[in-house]
Amino acid sequence: MRSALELFTRQGYERTTVDEIADAVDVSQRTFFRYFGNKEEVAFATQESAERHFFAALCGRPADEAPLTALRHAVLDAWGATGDAIEQMVPPELHMRMYRLIESTPSLLAVHLRRTAELEERLAREIARREGLDIDTDPRPRLVVAMFGGVIRVAGKLWVEGQDDSTVTLRDITAFHLDYVGPALAEQWDK
Amino acid sequence: MRSALELFTRQGYERTTVDEIADAVDVSQRTFFRYFGNKEEVAFATQESAERHFFAALCGRPADEAPLTALRHAVLDAWGATGDAIEQMVPPELHMRMYRLIESTPSLLAVHLRRTAELEERLAREIARREGLDIDTDPRPRLVVAMFGGVIRVAGKLWVEGQDDSTVTLRDITAFHLDYVGPALAEQWDK
DNA sequence: TGTCATTTGTCAGACGCTGACATTAGCCTC
DNA sequence: GAGGCTAATGTCAGCGTCTGACAAATGACA
């Protein structure tokens, strides 16, 4: 995994073949495909970890917190503590470089957005559970998550476009944008 | 294109090979790839048309309309008049079946979401232009579009999950969800 | 009719990915 | 330590997407 991410970030995703990755760690191509379902999967290994952290953080928030507040805390928590699970696999700086690469590689961006959509579905179900709502009849859980997700995406995109690639900056940009729309979203929730 | 969509909707996207599509219209596989950059492209030909319509509709809205109002009119307009450009290429019913297939095929969904993100970027720039804002310093154009896009996605998803596959139903679901969050979003805009 | 540009076909090959089968490695038991 | 079991790995063949290079065909026009 570390070898793959290093190759990806050094020479680009498309220009890195599975054979190269496999050769770098002296295994056959077939073995690579036994551990990763496809080439994309290895590219999202650290994202996967961060997302799990995010979801777990949401589930750990106190039950009396409003949905948006809980989401906000969870995402800032997950991105602040990027190190936790990821550091053991790859250097955090590699994780960040990979995030940039994902945002700037069309095929990876597509997969990233789909993964995000799946995560949002799980988030919406968790919000519904917290609030005791039926997700099939009440649109609010999905709506609040969808809009929240939109804000996160905008923040991430701005970060990628910018120069400063520290984790802290990403956190700050995210917090700023959430503050911007938070009140309106919270209001709409109570309607 | 029509042959491709018919094959896709009949036997699934993955289970349809490019050779099959090419054979169906008696051309070589190489010729197919000269007209479509890849297999996905042909699957999104009608979506492309609908999106262009949507964007054009937004550009045609009166300048004094609030951003969200303009977006709302544009999307309902584009989805109501699906026939316009599409009917000349494929039957509208095929377009709708294809939309369902996209939402339910992971690889296509991924591309769909990326295309949507690209469209949203253009929408945000148009909103910024209308309002005389600088998109690089004012986050509001991107935020309002991102949240608007989230609502559209939720509506589309619910439609796909449901049984009624008429265009009208999709329009109604979309309108309903927009009404739900519209006021709050409008309020946040003026803040 | 000959010339030229555009379109199409053919061929070979890279790359991602999979199934089938052989080989090896590690480990437990006797 | 020999035998045998299981899990991991390698090898091989093949499908499908996609690309570059070159040849053949097509059509328009002088």
**Strand C nucleotides within 7 Å of a protein CB:** 8-11, 14-20
Is residue B159 domain-shared with residue B70, that is, in the same domain?
yes
B15 and B69 together in one domain: no
Contact call for residues A117 and A124 (beta carbons, < 8 A):
no
What's the rounded mean pLDDT across residues B36-63? 93
For residue A184, the model assigns a pLDDT of 67
pLDDT confidence of residue A85: 63
Clarify whether residues A102 and A152 are in a common domain. Answer: yes
**Mean pLDDT of the residues in chain A:** 87
Whole-angstrom distance, CA of residue A41 vs CA of residue A57: 23
Q: Are residues A20 and A59 in the same domain?
A: no
Q: What is the pLDDT of residues A24-54, one digit of tens each?
A: 999 999 999 999 999 999 999 989 988 998 9
Round to the nearest angstrom and report the end-to-end CA distance of chain B: 47
How confident is the model over B127-134, as a mean pLDDT? 93
Q: For residue A126, what pLDDT band results from cuts at 50, 70 and 90?
A: very high
Give strand D nucleotides closer than 7 A to any protein Cβ: 9-12, 16-21
Q: Mark whether B11 and B52 lie in a shared domain.
A: no
Q: Which of B68, B103, B112, B114 to mutate to test the interface with A (most CBs of A within 10 A)?
A: B114
B68 with B127, same domain: the answer is: yes
State which of A178-182, B90-94, B105-109 shows the largest mean pLDDT: B105-109
The pLDDT of residue B168 is 72
Total domain count for chain B?
A: 2
A165 pLDDT band (50/70/90 cuts)?
low
- Same domain membership, residue B20 and residue B88: no
B153 interaction partners in chain A (CB closer than 8 Å): 117, 146
Residues A81 and A94 in one domain: yes
Q: Is B139 close to A153, i.e. CB distance below 8 A?
A: no
- State the pLDDT at residue B183: 72
In this structure, the protein residues whose CB atom falls closer than 7 angstroms to any atom of nucleic acid strand D are A 26-31, 34-35; B 16-19, 29-30, 33, 37-40
pLDDT at B34 over 70: yes
- CB-CB neighbors (< 8 A) of A186 in chain B: none
- pLDDT at residue A79 above 60? yes
Cβ–Cβ under 8 Å, residues A102 and A47: yes
Whether residue B88 is found in the same domain as residue B136: yes
Residues on chain A touching B113 (C-beta within 8 angstroms): 110, 113-114, 117
Please give the full DSSP string across B103-164, using - where no structure is assigned: HHSHHHHHHHHHHHHHHHHHHHHHHHHHHT--TTT--HHHHHHHHHHHHHHHHHHHHHHSS-
Report d(CA B105, CA A165) in Å as an integer.
Answer: 34
- Looking at the complex, does the CB of residue A39 fall below 8 Å from at least one CB of chain B? no
Q: Check pLDDT > 90 for residue A1.
A: yes
| Full residue range of the structural domain in which residue B29 is found | 1-39
Q: Pick the residue with more confidence: B21 or B191?
A: B21
What pLDDT shows up at residue A84?
Answer: 58
pLDDT at residue number B188: 60
Q: Is the pLDDT of residue B189 over 70?
A: no
If asked whether residues A85 and A22 sit together in one domain, one would say: no
What are the backbone angles phi and psi of residue A105, rounded to the nearest 5°?
A: -110, 110
The answer to whether the CB of B119 falls within 8 A of the CB of B55 is yes
Residue A149 CB-density burial (10 A; 0-12 exposed, 13-18 middle, 19+ buried): buried
Q: Which residues of chain B make contact with A184, given a CB cutoff of 8 A?
A: 184-185, 187-188, 191
Based on the domain organization, do A29 and A64 belong to the same domain? no
The integer distance in angstroms from the CA atom of B76 to the C1' atom of D6 is: 61
CATH code: domain of residue A14: 1.10.10.60
**A62 pLDDT higher than 70:** yes
Q: Calculate mean pLDDT across residues A106-121.
A: 95
Mutate to test the interface with B, among A142, A144, A180 (most CBs of B within 10 A): A142
User: How far does the CA of residue B52 sit from the closest CA of chain A (Å)?
Assistant: 20
Amino acid A152 reads I
Query: If you count them, how many residues does chain B have?
Result: 191
- Do B24 and B84 lie in a common domain? no
CATH assignment of the domain containing B175: 1.10.357.10
The reported pLDDT for the residue numbered A77 is 85
Alpha carbon of residue A172 to chain centroid: 16
Question: pLDDT at position A28, please?
Answer: 95
Q: Is B83's pLDDT higher than 60? A: no
Kindly state the average pLDDT of the residues B29-39.
96
Residue whose CA lies closest to nucleotide D12 C1': A30
